[in-house]
Amino acid sequence: MAGQQLRYDGQTVVVTGAGGGLGKAYAVFFASRGANVVVNDLGGSFNGLGGSSSMADLVVKEITQSGGKAVANYDDVVNGESIIKTAIDNFGRIDILINNAGILRDISFKNMKDQDWDLIMKVHVIGAYKCARAAWPYMRKQKYGRVINTSSAAGLFGSFGQCNYSAAKLSQVGFTETLAKEGRKYNILCNVIAPIAGSRLTATVMPPEVLEVLKPEYVVPLVAVLAHTSSDESGAIFEVGGGRVAKMRWERAKGALLRADDSFTPGALLKKWADVGDFSKPSHPEGPANFMELLEDAQKLP
Ligand code: NAD
């Protein structure tokens, strides 16, 4: 497909949180390439308060005025069934789900309130689950689906003042890896992106000249490729922003082995501590089976 214009004619895309930022860029793009788009947005504040229909309506208006097909949905993402029902009622199918809706409740761990934790879990973790859960039976039945979940560098690396958000965002990696495994035989491909883009979520923490090189539109090509029928990519984690796209993966250090016939003690482990963190010749595990192989190999050694 390289060099060809990717199109999505006859397919239905649900983009959650599509009233602004990255979600809007996805929605406008897919509509411009022939897809039917459900523009979901609760229309609340960046920290998850309030709601209004205007954000989704404005995006739908922009799409339809350019000749595209889109309908608005104003549900909270925790009402995933209702969001997917909007796709089925209006377009008869759901092919691509982009779990993108998000909020921030940044605060140091010391000052975190249950509400800050719970709201973040609700939108990012439960919301992504509910939407995927509602879309899954349709995708299985039609033996076709594309799911793109949204993580964050804050989840992959941690970020001061964002422990709620970091926990929720790394959850999307594990969630996606399992969906990718369960979806593969039904041609449901699932990937997770850690984007960086100028939006109302980043406007307060980045200067305008930086935001200028991080347009949400620069994340679109990756999402477009992953969502396309020609893609075979599944279970991958991508870092994407400002036009740069790269896969991320786990890395394992050399490691140490304590033997049952050795002195199996914390002191013995401390003697080998340098090996525990020796990344000079790393391996790149892809699952637990790989760990068992390592153990078996190690046991064979004299
Ligand atoms: P944004 O605030 O511009 O967009 C998020 C949208 O989600 C908003 O329009 C909001 O109204 C909507 N939304 C919030 N809660 C909702 C709910 N419960 N139900 C339905 N809609 C809801 O922010 P963005 O930067 O475009 O973020 C999009 C996604 O990318 C988020 O998941 C965010 O965590 C993630 N992300 C963004 C960045 C970045 O640099 N912008 C970095 C890492 C991750």
Q: How many angstroms separate the alpha carbon of residue 239 from the centre of ligand 1?
A: 16
Whether the pLDDT of residue 153 is over 90: the answer is: yes
Residues lining ligand 1, Cβ inside 6 A: 16-17, 19-23, 40-44, 46, 48, 55, 76-77, 100-103, 123, 127, 150, 152, 195-197, 199-202
Q: What is the pLDDT of residue 215?
A: 95
Whether the pLDDT of residue 5 is over 90: the answer is: yes
d(CA 222, CA 22): 12
Range 116-132 average pLDDT = 98
Is residue 28 exposed (0-12), middle (13-18) or buried (19+ Cβ within 10 Å)?
A: buried
**Angle of the 80-91 helix axis to the 127-142 helix axis, nearest 10:** 40
> Cβ distance 164 to 120 under 8 Å?
yes
Among 72, 68, 97, CA closest to 9: 68
> Cβ distance 150 to 102 under 8 Å?
yes
Whether the pLDDT of residue 302 is over 60: the answer is: no
Among 222, 236, 201, 126, CA closest to 171: 126
> Cβ distance 90 to 75 under 8 Å?
no
Range 164-169 average pLDDT = 98
- Collapsing DSSP to helix, strand or coil, 245 comes out as strand
Q: What is the pLDDT of residue 301?
A: 55
Q: What is the pLDDT of residue 262?
A: 67
Range 27-34 average pLDDT = 98
Among 60, 130, 150, 201, name the best residue to mutate to test ligand 1's pocket (greatest count of ligand atoms within 8 A of Cβ): 201
Tell me whether residue 8 is one of the annotated catalytic residues.
Answer: no
Q: What is the pLDDT of residue 166?
A: 98
Whether the pLDDT of residue 1 is over 70: the answer is: no
The token pair at 26 is 């996805």
Q: Which atom of ligand 1 is found nearest the CA of 41?
A: 21
Mean pLDDT of the chain: 95
Q: What is the pLDDT of residues 189-210, one digit of tens each?
A: 999 999 999 999 888 788 888 8
54: amino acid identity, one letter = S
The interface predicted TM-score of the complex, written ipTM, equals 0.99
Q: Output the pTM of the full model.
A: 0.96
Alpha helix (H) ranges present in 72-159? 80-91, 114-120, 127-142, 153-157
Which band of pLDDT confidence, cut at 50, 70 and 90, is reported for residue 287?
A: confident
Give the bridge partners for 72, in sequence order: 39
> Cβ distance 40 to 97 under 8 Å?
no
Range 134-163 average pLDDT = 98
Which band of pLDDT confidence, cut at 50, 70 and 90, is reported for residue 64?
A: very high
Q: Whose CA is nearest to atom 19 of ligand 1?
A: 76
Q: What is the pLDDT of residue 251?
A: 96
